[in-house]
Each structure stands twice: as structure tokens, then as C-alpha cells.
Amino acid sequence: MSAVSINADRLLSRIHALGEVGRDGDGRLTRLAGSDADKAGRDQLVRWLREADLEIAVDRIGNIFGVWREAGNAEKAPVLIGSHIDTVIDAGIYDGCYGVLSGLEAIQTLREAGAALGRPIAIAAFTNEEGVRYAPDMMGSLVYAGGLSLDEALATVGTDGSILGEELRRIGYAGADGPGFSKPHAYVELHVEQGPVLEREGVPIGAVENLQGISWQRITIEGVANHAGTTPMSMRRDAGYAAARVIGFLHDRATASNTPTVATVGCIAFEPNAINVIPARATFTVDLRDPDAERLKAEEAALAAYLQDLATAENMTISTERLARFEPVTFDARIVGIIEEAARGRGLASKRMTSGAGHDAQMIARIAPAAMIFVPSVGGISHNPREYTADTDLVAGANVLLDVIQRLAAEGKIR
């Protein structure tokens, strides 16, 4: 058992305080990247970083860093803890924010305990993790890791026609530091699971050893608009019907498989979108995920073949646009082991597991050893105002994080 534990009241009060920033008149929490609500959330985080007497840096993509250095370790690569504080529309209060605020709490606890560490510790809040207003998601960490050029990211046009770089300047978070200005020694991200596994099995800590690959596409089907009452079924080129067939194909294929593959159509639009007109065009997104790279490729190939056959059978034109694609990630085995040891040291059971959601950790794993810690999500609910994790689990996860980063910051290098 560690001799040092986090200040639970301080952590929980900050989680709930940040959860009130960005609520609209109906009480819905929404902090989209680059918005006024995002600025308000960032401003609150920076105030807390200053109160903790951390060095504050903001890079050009808007990632915020709070760094604790001491005279004997200032030149060494830091142990980085991170996540995000942007949200989806009508969000819960834990997704991303829990990891950032737990990292801050762990640093403050160690400082107050007078811990002497061999390396700096830094906390990061990455820009546009959710990808709701600007695509792709996990953009700030992707740019930081060198997977997307800064100029391309800053020029991204949002769903509302805004430009990310202009919005970051407008809200005061277009920083001066180049992305990746400080390569971490190691990276650890604490997050709510956003799934049902830990709660179902009664396990308080997930030691995340890998993360699913993600394939996002936009599909457009071109048919012919015509009168809904006078056009015989046999003479229709109905883009809406064709879209429904694709959705059914994806659902049936994933359901029949004995693999962890999942498939989702999250957005769909018809044109002209009138009740009495056969759709001339259907545009929809497809989200495919699998932790195995070859299986993910196979699912993409199966979808492509089905679309080709469908286009021929229905006499339609079908086009696809790649929105984002990330390979599956295997996290650093040594850090995963340290997470398990830290859980045991706190008297907590742990489970090795796969993350079904994308996280900033998958980007930072490109440049540094990385792993994640999960705590249970009640009912597996996330991206929803009913998202909830019990306070005891939040505190337990933060204490495990504290022990992991203390050990990583005390060592010379990961072997």
C-alpha cells in the first residue's frame, strides 16, 4: 500500500466544477473544440494549473501542458499524463476530464508530500479529442506525435464552416511552442472505461494493453428522385433503400462474427429529404473497429465489395471518402505490468483489457512507451449526460495513477 494518497475531495470537487462549465440554458454540457465553452473550460484548467504552481505551456495546436520540474531533473524527458477536456454534444462530466484532473491531482499530491523524483512530470489536455466540430478526432495528440501536419490541422474546416486555427486564435489558445516540443519518457492516461466490462465483472481497475483500430468512411449513394406515389417499386432507384441495405449488411456481418469487430452508422442524410419524394442521394458514415489489423482490413474489403455489388444491382453510383484511419495499438507491456502492480499495492483487483474507444494514448504511443488505466462506467454509458462512475472508483483510479507515475518518474529509463 502506498504511503501517499490523493486528496479525494479536491479531485471530486474539480470534476464537478469543470462539469458545470459549458452548460446551455437547458442544462446540456457541450464544449466543442475551439468554441467559447471550450475557452471557458481551458481557462478554468489553467487557473488550477497556476494554483498548483506548475509551468504552463500551450503549443500551436492548442494543447495545454502543466509541468512540474525541479533543479535536479529539469533537463530530463518528463513522464506525461494526459487526456482531454473537450466534449461531445450533451455530454457527461467524466470522459477525458477525469484523466486530466486526476493527473493534476497526482502531481499536487506528490509535491505536497515532498516527493523527490528523477524526472519531471507533466499533465496534458489535448485539443479536439472528440472530433465533433473538426475531423479527425484525437487531433491535438496526433499533431503532437507527428501524425498530422500542423498546417493541415490548423486549416481544418469545421462542421459550422469555422477554421480551427482561427478559432484557437480567437479564444486565446494558439500557443507559441511547436507540437512535440517535449518528447515524453513515458505516457499514462487514466480514463473511464466507456463500456460495461469492468462493472459487469466487478473489477475496479483495467490495465489497458491494446486499443482497437478505427476506420471511418463517408459513403454517398446516388439514385434518382421521383414521386413516392406514382413510381412503381420495380422502377425505383432509391438511394434511401440502398443505404438501408448497407446498414443491414454491416449489422448482420458484425453480429454473426465471433470476433470483437463492431460496425456503426452514426450519421445519415437524404436528399431532397421530403416525405413524398424517393431519395436521390443518401450520405452516411461508417465506423469500423477491430483490435486486429488484418481483421480490420478484411472488414473494409468486405464493405467495399458489397458496395460494388450493390451499385451494380441497383443501377446506382456509390462513392466512398476516407475520413480517418488508425491502426490498432499495442501498449507498452512494462507499463501495463506496473499498472497491475500498483493496483495490487492498493489492494485492488485489475483486469487486462482492450479499449474499444479511441484515445490520445494511441497517438502518443507512436513516440513514447504508453499505456492506459480504466475505471468502471456504470451501465457502460458514455457520451451521454447519464455517464457515471462512483466516487470510490474515481479515487481508486487516481491513486493507482499516482503510484504508476511516481514509479516511472523515479527511474532512469524504461527497459
Annotated binding-site residues for Zn(2+) read 84, 95, 130, 191, 383
Write the CB contacts of 306 (distance below 8 Å, at least 6 apart in sequence): 246, 249
* Alpha helix stretches (DSSP H) within 163-292: 164-171, 197-201, 239-256
In single-letter form, the type of residue at position 245 comes to R
- Alpha-carbon distance of 300 to 318, in angstroms, equals 15
What angle, 0 to 180 degrees and rounded to 10, lies between the N-to-C axes of helices 391-410 and 333-345?
A: 120
Query: Which cell numbers in the block locate residue 300?
Result: 473494409
DSSP lists the bridge partners of residue 202 as none
DSSP 214-237: EEEEEEEEE---EETTTS-GGG--
For residue 278, give the H/E element and its range. strand 277-278
Side chain identity, residue 278: I
234 Cβ contact partners less than 8 Å away, ≥ 6 residues apart: none
> Which parts are annotated binding residues?
84, 95, 130, 191, 383
CB atoms within 10 A of CB 308: 11
